[in-house]
A and B are shown apart, each in its own frame.
Chain A
Amino acid sequence: MRSSRRSMAGKRASSRKARGGKMRGKRASPKKEGRSKGPATPEPDAIVLLEADPEDAGKRGMAAIKTGISKGGKAVIISANRPYKTLMAAYRKNGIDSQRVMVIDCVSKPNNAEIEEADNVLYLESLTDLTDILLSVRDAIGAKAGRQFIFLDSITTMLIYNKPDTYARFIHNLLTMMRVKRVGGILLYVAGGAGQEVRAEIVQLCDKVIKA
């Protein structure tokens, strides 16, 4: 009886491990959801939903990237909001080392913005080609050595251009890939924005929700 109980607990633990969940003591800790004044600080493999007020979203996102990089990580940014050129200027202003950032720019090409060729940027044709975004993230993760994290900016903007069910599949695919590759990440969601029903789907896939 005792050994069978142990075996069941072992199975549950492996299943949690496979899902990327964390074990603390005998029980897995429940998903944390709370309000924080500080930046989201991603643990190496953790996937965090950062829910920010519209006025603060940019600032909170920047702080999260800065913290992740200061901990020795390299950031892969999926940008649906700002073009590469603007992002680089903002990173410089905030003391973020651009060499530790790879940008997947989904904004410049669709809007005929200026394309500045660089080693740390990939320009994509459209925000609606979710397959291309996924493949590009995979390439970016594969190309960089060392600890990495993904910053998605933002769920809210991408939902303006994509159907909620397709977008939920995209997030599921992205997060599964991150779990398999053991890459953590921060998904930025603007509070009160579009896609409340998708938010619920996404929350259950994340390790932590931070309301900033």
Chain B
Amino acid sequence: MAKKHPKGASKTDYFARTGIAGLDSLMGGGFEAEGTNLIRGSTGSGKTLFCLQSLVSACDRYDECGAFISFEESKESVYRSAKGIGCDLSALEKKGKFVFARYSPHEVAAIIKEGGGMIRDSIEAVGAKRVAIDSLTAYSLLFETPYESNEGLLALFEILNRWKVTTLLTDEKDVDISSSESGRLGFLSDSIIHLYNVRTGQTRARAMEVVKMRHAVHSNKLIPFKIEKRGIVIYPDMQLLV
């Protein structure tokens, strides 16, 4: 769990800036620093790009090293996606500011049982302060019963909290725009952002929503956004028209 934000304390100590212009103020300060922040949405909603933009922005602007732990997508594919929004992960890797690691869900389960050593080594190799784990979906599917799944998630969250890093976890799930259900994963997370990709006639429109901030007052608005060549651009003063 993230550090609690005491009244009057500097926000920068308790929140990690998202790196997406305009989003910090909507979240009441930014991600929960050293906490677990869940980015949830359907396929193609922009979860991976959201994480990449945040990691790269933290490296470039705040000199905060980052790690991307992939449970599914290959390094080539992730690096190509990053290039699409103007982020050169190879250059950051060469500077020792970024590390990519890929594990299969089975490997992850085994690693977590043993205390997370291999993943921790990857993070410590660059002194990462911000870690993206993409995605939890495959990991959750490893477990046969809801009880086992819950135990597996608890073990993962305990390890992440011990590492004292700001974690961005992605969860591939069709989120209903009118629903407030967040499930066990949502309960365990310090913050939740939903990314929507809503059908509007012949095309789809994108929007995001801050669903939960454990220690801050956040906006309840549905915020339209675009994915452009420079990354995710949000429009907090506009409305989604569906």
Q: Are A131 and B241 in contact (CB under 8 A)?
A: yes
- Chain A interface size, as a band, is 10 to 19
Tell yes or no: B156 within 8 A of A by CB.
no
The minimal Cβ–Cβ distance linking B195 to chain A, given in whole angstroms, is 15
Collect the chain B residues with CB atoms within 8 Å of residue A126's CB.
Answer: 200-203
Q: Are A138 and B201 in contact (CB under 8 A)?
A: no
Q: Are B238 and A129 in contact (CB under 8 A)?
A: no
**CA separation between A161 and B203, bound complex, in Å?**
12
Majority secondary structure, B binding face: loop
Majority secondary structure, A binding face: helix
Contact digits for B126-165, partner A, Cβ 8 Å, 1 yes 0 no: 0000000000000000000000000000000000000000
Q: Are A110 and B202 in contact (CB under 8 A)?
A: yes
Q: Are A125 and B203 in contact (CB under 8 A)?
A: yes
Q: Are A166 and B241 in contact (CB under 8 A)?
A: yes
Q: Are B203 and A132 in contact (CB under 8 A)?
A: yes
**CA separation between A163 and B241, bound complex, in Å?**
11
Q: Are A129 and B239 in contact (CB under 8 A)?
A: no
Question: Closest residue to B207 on the A side, CB-wise?
Answer: A131
Q: Kindly identify, within residues 215 to 242 of chain B, every residue whose CB is under 8 Å from any CB belonging to chain A.
A: 224, 226, 235, 237-242
Collect the chain B residues with CB atoms within 8 Å of residue A138's CB.
Answer: 235, 238
Q: Which of B203, B224, B239 contacts A128 (CB 8 A)?
A: B203
Tell yes or no: A162 within 8 A of B by CB.
yes
**CA separation between A131 and B202, bound complex, in Å?**
13
Q: Which of B201, B203, B224, B235 contacts A162 (CB 8 A)?
A: B201
**CA separation between A155 and B207, bound complex, in Å?**
25
Question: Closest residue to A166 on the B side, CB-wise?
Answer: B241
Q: Which of A110, A131, A166, A170 contacts B224 (CB 8 A)?
A: A131
Q: Are B201 and A129 in contact (CB under 8 A)?
A: yes
**CA separation between A135 and B241, bound complex, in Å?**
11
Tell yes or no: A194 within 8 A of B by CB.
no
Q: Are A131 and B201 in contact (CB under 8 A)?
A: no
Question: Closest residue to A180 on the B side, CB-wise?
Answer: B237
Contact digits for A119-134, partner B, Cβ 8 Å, 1 yes 0 no: 0000001111111101
Q: Are A135 and B224 in contact (CB under 8 A)?
A: yes
Collect the chain B residues with CB atoms within 8 Å of residue A129's CB.
Answer: 200-205
Collect the chain B residues with CB atoms within 8 Å of residue A162's CB.
Answer: 201
The minimal Cβ–Cβ distance linking A14 to chain B, given in whole angstroms, is 22
Question: Closest residue to B202 on the A side, CB-wise?
Answer: A126
The minimal Cβ–Cβ distance linking B49 to chain A, given in whole angstroms, is 17
Q: Which of B205, B237, B239 contacts A132 (CB 8 A)?
A: B205
Collect the chain B residues with CB atoms within 8 Å of residue A125's CB.
Answer: 202-203
Q: Kindly identify, within residues 26 to 75 of chain A, every residue whose CB is under 8 Å from any CB belonging to chain B.
A: none
Collect the chain B residues with CB atoms within 8 Å of residue A170's CB.
Answer: 241
**CA separation between A138 and B235, bound complex, in Å?**
9
Q: Which residues of B contact A (CB under 8 A)?
A: 200-205, 207, 224, 226, 235, 237-242
**Among all A-B residue pairs, the 3 with the closest Cβ atoms:** A128-B201, A130-B241, A126-B203
Q: Which residues of A contact B (CB under 8 A)?
A: 110, 125-132, 134-135, 138, 161-162, 166, 169-170, 173, 177
Q: List 19 A-B contacts (CB under 8 A).
A: A110-B202, A125-B202, A125-B203, A126-B203, A128-B202, A129-B200, A129-B201, A129-B202, A129-B203, A129-B204, A131-B205, A131-B238, A131-B241, A131-B242, A134-B238, A135-B238, A166-B241, A173-B241, A177-B237
